[in-house]
Amino acid sequence: MTLLKLNEINSFYGGIQALKNISLEVNEGEIVTLIGSNGAGKSTTLKTISGQVKPKSGEIYYKNQDLLKLPTHNIALKGIAHVPEGRKIFSKLTVKENLEMGAFSVKDKKIIKERLERVFNYFPRLRERIDQKGGTMSGGEQQMLAIGRALMMGPSLLMLDEPSMGLAPIIVEQIFEIIEQLNSEGMTILLVEQNAYQALQIAHRGYVIQTGEIQMVGEGKTLMNNEEVKKAYLA
Amino acid sequence: MKEDILVNDVIQSLPQVLVDGFILGAVYAIVALGYTMVYGILELINFAHGEIFMSGAFIGTAFLFVFSGLGLFHSLPALLILIIVLVLTSVLTGFVGMGIERVAYRPLRKAPKLITLITAIGISFLLQDFVRFITELKRGNYILTGPSLFNTQHSIKTHSILSVFGNAQIKSASIIILVVAVIMMITLDFFINKTKWGMAMRAVAQDRETASLMSVNVNKVISLTFFLGSALGGATGVLFAVQYNTIDPYIGFILGLKAFTAAVLGGIGNIRGAMVGGFVIGILEMFASANLSTLTSGVLGSEYKDVFAFAILIIVLIFKPEGLFGKSVAEKV
Amino acid sequence: GCGNGKDSKDKNKVIEVATQSPLSGGSATLGDSIKLGAQMELENQKADFKKLGFDLKLVPYDDQGDPTKGVSNAEQIAADTSILGVVGHLNSGVAIPSSLKYEKAHIPMVSPANTATEVTDRGLSSVNRICARDDFQGPAGANYAVNTLKAKNIYIIQDKTAYGTGLADAFKDAAAKLGAKIVGYEGITVGEKDFNGVINNIATKKPDLVFFGGLYAEGGLIIKQAADKGLKMPFMGGDGLDSSTLVEIAGDAVKNVYYTSVAADTLKVAGGQEFANQYKKEFNKNIESYSAYGYDSMGVILQGIKNAIKDNNNKMPSREEVEKAVRDIQDFNGVVTKVGFDEKGDNKFAKVYIYHFDETKYPGKQIDEISK
Amino acid sequence: MLKISNLTKKFGGLTAVCDVNIEINAGTITAIIGPNGAGKTTFFNMITGVYTPTSGQIMFQNESLVGLKPHAVSRKGIARTFQNIRLFSSMTALENVMVGMHQHLNYSVLSTLLHLPTYKKKEKMAMKKAYKWLEYVGLEELYNEEAGCLSYGAQRRLEIARALATEPKILLLDEPAAGMNPKETKDLTNLIYQMRDDLNLTVVLIEHDMKLVMEISEYLFVLDHGEKIAEGKPIEIRNNPKVIEAYLGKSAVTTA
Amino acid sequence: MDKIKGYLQQNKLAQAILICVYVLTTSLSLYLLQESVVAFLLVLFSLYLLYLTHFKNSIKWISAIFILTILIPYVSSQGTAFQSYMDVSTLVGIYVAMALGLNIVVGLAGLLDLGFIAFFAIGAYTYAIFSTNQVTNFIHTNFFPLTGNSFWLFIFIGGFVAAISGILLGIPVLRVKGDYLAIVTLGFGEIIRIVFNNLDRPINFTNGAKGISGIPSPTIFGYVLSDSNQFYYVVLALLGIVILAVTRLENSKLGRSWKAVRENEIAAQSMGIHLVRTKLLAFAIGASFSGMMGVVFSAKQMFIDPTSFTMLQSITILVMVILGGMGSVPGVILGAALVTILNLQVLTEVTNYLNQLTLDGVISIPTALSPAKMQRFIFGMVLILVAIFRPQGLLPAKNKKVNKEDLIETHTEEHKQTISM
Ligand SMILES: Nc1ncnc2c1ncn2[C@@H]1O[C@H](COP(=O)(O)OP(=O)(O)OP(=O)(O)O)[C@@H](O)[C@H]1O
Ligand SMILES: Nc1ncnc2c1ncn2[C@@H]1O[C@H](COP(=O)(O)OP(=O)(O)OP(=O)(O)O)[C@@H](O)[C@H]1O
Ligand SMILES: CC(C)C[C@H](N)C(=O)O
Ligand SMILES: [Mg+2]
Ligand SMILES: [Mg+2]
């Protein structure tokens, strides 16, 4: 079933067009990855979905509901979690508070506790630093926190913007494992990555995006073997 | 005069000076809270906050006039009247604050930070003249002296505690102010630091975009902040009016300045800092104006009290640039 | 355009008189009363001037109690050639710099309220006042305090404005000369509401009398807060306390207050009641101490203009002519005061009055009247 | 060239860098790797004077750097880039680079005010030189753009150009390849080689991209929990079990 | 409409004709309608139009100088309003110069200063004290008080003393950042004012609240400059120097350091910029403009007292800077001119006009609402509206664009030099 569907989206920053007629689909239970070079428009695509950027034209449907008119916080309420580029940790809040912010819309204390426990299991480092202010964590620690925070929402669609950026190989490895694990537990994932090799390896499908336009669509493995993709992104 | 006589004078009046300082400080402290809250969330020095406080004082006094006109002063206990007026006024000023945010600040969220300062100054001027106009229209004079609620004097027997002290006087109005102020502060501190909405306010303060990704309705949180800050400011205005009885449309400016100083002294954005800062400034001021001339044998007088307060502020900030309670978080590079 | 309010056709026939006083800010009540008083007299005389062939017009300026603003207004007044005189200011601090501009343009200024000595001591030929000076008012108060009230130890507070300092100093020097001991001399900040600091200091010094040089807004609060603290000694102040608002602010505590004023109790003088009635009718306001002085200042200027017109064969006089005519006035009879200027522009007939509040009601009871 | 001994930094109770000894030779490319939070950036911050070490010594060409302010360190010939980009975002790319030339532009305020020939000549030279640096990192087309509007990759390169403009002897790069795709990383690799060879630079870099690190660096230091756990040539590090366990993970070894 | 705009933008001849016609008509109308403030303002507006044209900078400057030094004084000199126009223009000049000084501190270096008026006060009092009898209270020689001749020297002394105070303030407080700095400077401003207000005891330095009067007008070759139209030229000359200095500094190494510090302190330091020195220079240079203008102000007013140096004044200058566009020299000039004219001329005139209508019985406004009292209301309204509709300021700062030709090397020799560094 199609969970998310973008139709002919055009987004702008002031006068600059960042997305040109972007159409893409994410099916329930899939890992879909978006790859492309710097400035291609990957982050903008995610921002458009989560409502941070409002497109000039086009349609976005999530579970057959129109997202276009909704403000960001209501889109989040629908179950779309967006881990933004550059982590965007609340630097003056503690690790615990950051995580609790993720569960802002959850009323049930018990569920919050359970999710907290789960996040700590994924990232034990966060448990160690539970009372440290987010802003003083190292880059990698912050990335873990950002993902953890998104998981606290209990989303049905998790959008990750370059989660491996600045992480130690061993953590990257872990993160990809976690992504696969989350996916196997039923979570749908939209992944933006520079690390095209690893992304394509775990993705069911992938989109290649170039200067705001979709260049190619295909299964992960297929794209990985595509000569053009190899030349441009896998080097 | 001999040294020890000087010191005696100072010590003898100390209990009274402290009592008076605490009362003035309480007013500064709550107004400072309003500055700190708005600053904390929008990084905006909300110059209009002093005027919200002032409007609160006028609205409260207006209510008092209405109530005394209705003869309620005889039928209801004064404390009850005060509580009713406090609630009514703070709700009203809360909405005024929310309205100001909606009209004057929200359109400028993405604009450079300082331009909002301009609208804040604009709003201040506007409110001053508006209140002046209404009052003058109604009463022919904008210096307004309201009915007094609590006038009993109590004596605190500090003399019996330590014989070098003189006794201190306190009005019942002042006691009530202190109590109400402390209650308001504790409630607010709890709200900000211990509740979900308080946490949301702090999160929005740091990063609105990301907060909205966490399903936080940013506009709502900001409105809430303004409502709370302004309600608090308005309530303080009422307390001020009850304490000093006489108000004019320009009280907000001077008091706002002091309160803002207090907020900074405590570490702006920090709730507890604002409270402590308020009390410190209040007491310093009171102490300076009572004792400066005695201590300097007349070279400096009470007219230097603000110099004294500002000098202390500057000295504190030089040694602790983030204020008394601001945590020195070395920027992560 | 904005500046073209006047018809240019019969421009030569228009005579304007300006007022400058604070219409906004802290002491606007008094500033307004000067303007309204002046306005009333001008309206009264419109018909007379019409007969002479001139249209009379009032141009009120707001000096905001701010010297810079006052000077800039003065510059504009100087530029408007139909203006032949100025009634103003309230604050000596504003009058002193602004009058330099009048002097240059030869516009006669008649002040209803400026008491600072420097206003006329500079020997400017355009500057006049109909009220008494601080070096008359201060000693008069000191004399009363020391000799009548028998105050030995006096505590002085002043508001650190040009007026407050001037008056307090004049009082202090005179009181000291009369043998009183000055046990405290403190300044306060205008606009504040909590004066407990100074009051605590008074409490430790235990003077026989407290003198306040400043305006009613702060004065009222000091008197009230001192009473709240149980201080019983009498308070005394100058013309700055002479306002109904003082009573509103201080409430019952006012019963302990003496004040000197350069303004007579309008209601007590002949014709004063009628003046108050007309004032009330026109502006729906009660008179303030300086309302009638604004009225009389305007009267003096209009008299000067009339004299100048006469001397000029019923033609429009020049500013220099009016300036001279105003200074030459020797026996003008106003509502509250007789006016005759000496060579410096001070009113020879100016008096100082001493009042005491024996009830919680404005004005206080006039208990003494001192002339030079 | 750079000799660091017993360097320690504590933040409150947390020891971010603990008793680290490192020596870097002129003209080399050295990498510092380690898990997140190992203290790598903190290490850079101490060298450049942004943080003062809790204890330890930093010797650069036999002069101590401890206690120097960042600007003084920069004047000694040490330049850096930042992990989280720190450009002067509302200035143009060209101006950013010109700021980097600050200390080499010696004309007085007086000659500025009077527009003396020295001012004009030097300012003109500086502009041309700055443009050269932009060309050097491949940003010449964007010289008039506001730095804040550039894409991520361009911003990283601009930071390098700006650092080069200070004419350093040592260049410290904090995760220069973060956010770059493999192709762009390849270009960056070439740029680093080129800098070392053309400009006689000593390069120290922090990086998590093992492909880049293993290819480019001649010598590696590995930090973990603030302590140095290993050092050596890439091949040694790659097979060091301690490093594999703490940092590389199994799959990284195979892919790198 | 857009077409006309586009055409105008391209055709310089059309621009030239248009602006000449504009200047001529407005000048003529001012010449004929001497008392029309509107005509006067319209003439002034021509400077803004000139700014919008696309001529070479040198042409713009020459035309502006012509309009300011010859045209405006001449066409407004015919009537009695002359001195008042010149007075307003002089004050505009003083405020513009001050705002430009503050712009260095706030706009370029990013240091929020809420006590800027203190430096103005310091300049003003320096001249006032030494040129009047005040000085004899603490220095007993026949040399003092100085005469109006010393004014010229005092322009520099005032600037210098203010700059020193800027540094003295800066050294301790520059550790303090952002809005903390704002409040510290605010405190400093208040301290200076209160101290000046009270320094009549124990030794009478400033004459306290009574202020200092009788400040001599400047004299040059025995000729006394006391009229506004004479001051106008003094201020104009100084303003010219200030503008020149500001624009030159802005495009120099120092200007870039200021901006770099504003954008990112840590990165700026890492580029070899001495943080404290750079900030201190901003403080000192900004303050010196203010101090210079203080001297002019006190000579012009002939009287000063502490009420001219309140925090409200500091805020007003800040408003000028932000309203005009922080960091933008033309913007700040426009902002300062607008706010000053609005406060001194337009609001007063509107008020007088409405008053006239009320007194004539054409309209009736309750005295509480009398426009004379609503100045703050109107001013506040203007501030809000401008901020909302021009959030970047009236003329936002633009980055200087460089032509590519200026960057490309022509000599291969230099090329080699660069690479081998
Ligand atoms: N806030 C912004 N203002 C103006 N332009 C922007 C903004 N954010 C992005 N852009 C531009 O939009 C285009 C797409 O940017 P986007 O961030 O979506 O790219 P990306 O694919 O995520 O690249 P990267 O790998 O560098 O993160 C780029 O040209 C970029 O310069
Ligand atoms: N200013 C600070 N205050 C408190 N703790 C800090 C501060 N700066 C860094 N730390 C802590 O010091 C440790 C080392 O941080 P550092 O940034 O040096 O790590 P890193 O090796 O650069 O990590 P990464 O590769 O993720 O960037 C971390 O645990 C971090 O939380
Ligand atoms: C209203 C009065 C107190 C004014 C005072 N007499 C003065 O000269 O300033
Ligand atoms: Mg991106
Ligand atoms: Mg790091």
Same domain, D181 and D73: yes
pLDDT at B331: 63
Same domain, D151 and D219: no
* Spans of all domains in chain E: 1-80, 85-325
Mean pLDDT score across all residues of chain E: 84
Last residue of a domain, one of D167, D187, D222: D167
Q: Are D1 and D60 in contact (CB under 8 A)?
A: yes
Q: Give yes or no for residue A121 CB within 6 A of ligand 2.
A: no
Q: Helix (H, G, I), strand (E, B), or coil: what is residue E366?
A: coil
Burial per residue of C94-107, b for 16 or more beta-carbon CB atoms within 10 angstroms, e otherwise: bbbbbbbbbbbbbb
Q: pLDDT, tens digit, for every residue of C304-313?
A: 999 999 998 8
Same domain, D144 and D181: no
Ligand 4 center from residue A161 Cα (angstroms): 7
Ligand closest to the CA atom of residue C167: 3
Helix (H) or strand (E) holding A231: none
Dig out the tokens for A161 from the structure: 């913007």
**Amino acid residing at D158:** L
pLDDT digits (tens), chain B, 333 positions = 455 666 777 787 888 889 899 999 999 998 998 888 888 777 788 889 999 999 999 999 999 999 888 877 777 788 888 899 999 999 999 999 999 999 989 998 888 878 888 888 899 999 998 898 888 878 777 888 888 777 777 777 766 777 777 777 788 888 888 888 888 888 888 888 888 898 999 899 888 889 999 989 999 999 999 999 999 999 999 999 988 889 989 899 888 888 988 998 988 878 888 889 999 999 999 999 888 888 887 788 888 988 988 888 888 888 888 888 877 655 666
Same domain, D177 and D226: yes
Q: Helix (H, G, I), strand (E, B), or coil: what is residue C246?
A: helix
pLDDT at A120: 92
Q: pLDDT, tens digit, for every residue of C227-286?
A: 988 898 999 999 989 888 899 899 899 998 999 999 888 888 888 999 999 999 988 888
Residue ID of nearest Cα to ligand 1 atom 3: A13
Residue ID of nearest Cα to ligand 3 atom 2: C240
**Amino acid residing at B299:** V
CATH number at residue D144: 3.40.50.300
Ligand closest to the CA atom of residue A137: 2
Mean pLDDT score across all residues of chain C: 89
Q: How many CB atoms lie within 10 A of CB E366?
A: 11
Same domain, D70 and D175: yes
Tell me: pLDDT of C6 over 70: no
Q: Are A131 and A139 in contact (CB under 8 A)?
A: no
Tell me: pLDDT of A223 over 80: yes
Q: pLDDT, tens digit, for every residue of D78-90?
A: 999 998 889 998 8
> Into how many domains does chain D fold?
2
Same domain, D180 and D146: no
Contact B213 A82 (CB under 8 A): yes
Q: Are E237 and E93 in contact (CB under 8 A)?
A: no
Contacts of B196 in chain A (CB under 8 A): 100, 104
CB distance from B150 to chain C under 8 Å?
no
Q: Are D233 and D246 in contact (CB under 8 A)?
A: no
Q: Specify the higher pLDDT residue, D157 or E404.
A: D157
Sketch out chain A's domains with CATH numbers: 2-79+156-234 (3.40.50.300), 89-154 (no CATH)
Sketch out chain B's domains with CATH numbers: 2-319 (1.10.3470)
- Beta strand pairing call for C365-371 and D2-11: unpaired
Domain region containing D120: 85-167
Tell me: pLDDT of E413 over 50: no
Same domain, D66 and D180: yes
Contacts of D109 in chain E (CB under 8 A): 249, 252, 254, 281
Nearest alpha carbon to residue B42 among B208, B199, B230, B193: B208
pLDDT at C79: 80
Q: Is A109 exposed, middle or buried (0-12, 13-18, 19+ CB in 10 A)?
A: exposed
Ligand 1 center from residue D149 Cα (angstroms): 8
Last residue of a domain, one of D107, D141, D167: D167
Question: What is the ipTM for the molecules in this complex?
Answer: 0.88
pTM of the complete model:
0.89
Tell me: pLDDT of E347 over 80: no
Residue C141, CB-side half-sphere exposure with 13 Å CA sphere: 35
The radius of gyration of chain B's CA atoms, rounded to the nearest angstrom, is: 21
Verify cis geometry, omega within 30 degrees of 0, for the bond prior to C317.
Answer: no
pLDDT at B207: 87
Q: Which chains contact B through at least 3 pairs of Cβ atoms less than 8 Å apart? A: A, C, D, E
Contact D82 B333 (CB under 8 A): yes
Q: pLDDT, tens digit, for every residue of A52-62?
A: 999 999 999 99
Q: Helix (H, G, I), strand (E, B), or coil: what is residue B71?
A: coil
Contacts of C283 in chain E (CB under 8 A): 367
At A189, give phi and psi (nearest 5°): -135, 135
pLDDT at C12: 54
Contact D41 B330 (CB under 8 A): no
Instruction: Find which of D174, D183, D240 to mutate to test the A interface (most A CBs within 10 Å of its CB).
Output: D183
Same domain, D92 and D145: yes
Contacts of C79 in chain E (CB under 8 A): 35, 80-85
Tell me: pLDDT of D256 over 60: no
Q: Specify the higher pLDDT residue, E324 or E5.
A: E324
Nearest alpha carbon to residue A57 among A24, A16, A11: A11
Q: pLDDT, tens digit, for every residue of E248-294?
A: 999 899 999 999 999 999 999 999 999 999 999 999 999 999 999 99
Same domain, D161 and D101: yes
- Beta strand pairing call for D63-64 and D55-60: antiparallel
Tell me: pLDDT of C95 over 70: yes
Tell me: pLDDT of E354 over 80: no
Last residue of a domain, one of D151, D167, D183: D167
Q: Is the sign of the CA dihedral D58, D64, D69, D72 positive or negative?
A: negative
pLDDT at D107: 82
Same domain, D51 and D175: yes
Dig out the tokens for B85 from the structure: 């007026």
Same domain, D174 and D62: yes
pLDDT at C344: 92
Q: How many CB atoms lie within 10 A of CB E10?
A: 10
- Tokens 């003056």 sit at which residue? A92
For a mutational test of ligand 3's pocket, the pick from C33, C91, C346, i.e. the residue with the most ligand atoms closer than 8 A to its C-beta, is: C91
pLDDT at E231: 87
pLDDT at E161: 96
pLDDT band, residue C2 (cuts 50/70/90) = very low
At C115, give phi and psi (nearest 5°): -105, -15
Tell me: pLDDT of D96 over 90: yes
Q: pLDDT, tens digit, for every residue of C97-140?
A: 899 889 988 999 999 999 999 899 988 999 999 999 999 999 99
Nearest alpha carbon to residue E314 among E27, E3, E107, E102: E102
Same domain, D220 and D244: yes
Q: pLDDT, tens digit, for every residue of C337-351?
A: 999 999 999 999 999
pLDDT at E373: 65
**Amino acid residing at E103:** N
Angle CA(E25)–CA(E27)–CA(E33) in degrees, nearest 5? 95
Percent of chain C surpassing pLDDT 70: 96
Residue ID of nearest Cα to ligand 2 atom 27: A139
Tell me: pLDDT of E415 over 50: no
Q: Give yes or no for residue C260 CB within 6 A of ligand 3.
A: no
